[in-house]
């Protein structure tokens, strides 16, 4: 009983900081995304390919979450973007990132010149969904070899996400996977979920993903323009 009370308190405190993060990044006009999935679904490869396509147009930053190592940060740094690594083994090896760590990590970026902040959460299909980080979008990646039943077996992640990416579409010829059933299972859990299918390896389906990001970055910039206009008319 006591333990349950403590967990609720931790979650409530985390949610409050997540709320502040959301407002803070909105004021800066930065589009923020929390990329979550099981280990190995393709978070880093998707980020590598995504940033390669966006970096000449938009200033991108990444907060990289892992239990241990800077392997993924090293991969992403090669693209010339700013990366801040959080290793949770410093906090007892947690399987998720918390809003406060994001708040602290964000201070390492030149925030007035940042357009997009990507967070790669710790590889886990359960824990990160319990801890909001205060990003505009929670994005869950499910790769085809993981199976069509994962949305119904691990529903919280799919309930808490706004976008689902089905990755590793290039592997379909070698798998016995029903992608329509995978999508139906996800929609059963969250009818509002936007679903994109792609391959980070071949970049099949990538255009729609990049176009969606570009649309959302532009939307984030609008309040800033309004702010400037309001000031001028004062």
Ligand X SMILES: Nc1nc2c(ncn2[C@@H]2O[C@H](COP(=O)(O)OP(=O)(O)OP(=O)(O)O)[C@@H](O)[C@H]2O)c(=O)[nH]1
Where do contacts with Mg ion occur on this chain (CB under 5 A)? Answer: 43-44, 72
Which residues on adjacent β-strands are paired with residue 119? 34, 63
- In whole angstroms, the minimum distance from the beta carbon of 83 to ligand X comes to 13
Q: Within positions 59 to 78, which residues make up the interface with ligand X, using CB under 6 A?
A: 72
Crossing angle of helices 206-233 and 43-54, rounded to 10°: 60
What is the 8-class DSSP label of residue 79?
T
- As separate numbers, helices (DSSP H) first and strands (DSSP E) second, the chain gives 9, 7
41 binds, among Mg ion, ligand X, none (CB under 5 to 8 A by kind): ligand X
CA angle, 164 as apex, 163 and 166 as ends, to 5°? 150
Q: Is 201 in the site for ligand X (CB under 6 A)?
A: yes
93 binds, among Mg ion, ligand X, none (CB under 5 to 8 A by kind): none
Kindly report the backbone phi and psi dihedral angles of residue 150, in degrees, each rounded to the nearest multiple of 5, phi listed first. -60, -40
Q: Which residues contact 4 (CB under 8 A, 6 or more apart)?
A: none
Crossing angle of helices 2-28 and 99-106, rounded to 10°: 30
- In whole angstroms, the minimum distance from the beta carbon of 169 to ligand X comes to 7
DSSP E strand stretches across the chain: 31-37, 60-66, 82-87, 116-120, 137-143, 163-167, 194-197
Applying CB under 6 A, which part among 43-51, 94-102, 127-135, 221-229 lies near ligand X? 43-51
73 binds, among Mg ion, ligand X, none (CB under 5 to 8 A by kind): none
Q: Which of 202, 215 has the CB closer to ligand X?
A: 202
Task: List the x/- string, 111-150, binding to ligand X by CB under 6 A.
Answer: ------------x---------------------------
Applying CB under 6 A, which part among 91-99, 168-176, 215-223, 225-233 lies near ligand X? 168-176
What are the DSSP calls for 153-181, one per residue? Answer: HSHHHHHH-SEEEEE-GGGGGGS---HHH
199 binds, among ligand X, Mg ion, none (CB under 5 to 8 A by kind): ligand X
Q: Is 43 in the site for ligand X (CB under 6 A)?
A: yes
Given 14, 21, 32, 41, the residue binding ligand X (CB under 6 A): 41
216 binds, among Mg ion, ligand X, none (CB under 5 to 8 A by kind): none
Q: How far is CA 110 from CA 70, 103, 161, 186, 228, in A?
A: 21, 14, 27, 37, 21
- In whole angstroms, the minimum distance from the beta carbon of 87 to Mg ion comes to 13
Residues that bind ligand X (CB under 6 A): 37, 39-45, 72, 123, 167-168, 170-171, 199-201
């Amino acid at each position: 009983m006591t333990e349950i009370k403590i967990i609720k308190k931790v979650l409530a405190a985390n949610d409050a900081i997540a709320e502040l993060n959301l407002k803070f990044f909105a004021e800066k006009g930065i589009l923020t995304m929390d990329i979550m999935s099981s280990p190995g679904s393709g978070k880093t490869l998707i980020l590598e390919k995504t940033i390669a396509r966006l970096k000449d147009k938009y200033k991108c930053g990444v907060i990289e979450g892992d239990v241990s190592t800077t392997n993924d940060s090293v991969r992403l740094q090669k693209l010339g973007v700013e990366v801040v690594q959080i290793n949770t083994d410093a906090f007892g090896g947690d399987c998720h990132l918390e809003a406060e760590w994001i708040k602290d990590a964000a201070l390492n970026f030149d925030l007035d010149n940042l357009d997009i902040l990507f967070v790669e959460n710790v590889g886990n299909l359960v824990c990160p969904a319990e801890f909001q980080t205060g990003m505009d979008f929670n994005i869950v990646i499910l790769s085809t070899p993981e199976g069509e039943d994962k949305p119904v077996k691990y529903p919280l992640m799919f309930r808490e996400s706004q976008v689902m990416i089905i990755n590793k579409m290039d592997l379909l010829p070698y798998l016995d996977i029903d992608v329509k059933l995978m999508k139906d299972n996800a929609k059963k859990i969250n009818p509002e979920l936007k679903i994109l299918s792609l391959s980070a390896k071949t970049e099949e389906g990538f255009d729609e993903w990049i176009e969606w990001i570009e649309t959302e970055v532009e939307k984030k910039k609008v309040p800033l323009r309004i702010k400037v206009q309001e000031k001028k008319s004062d």
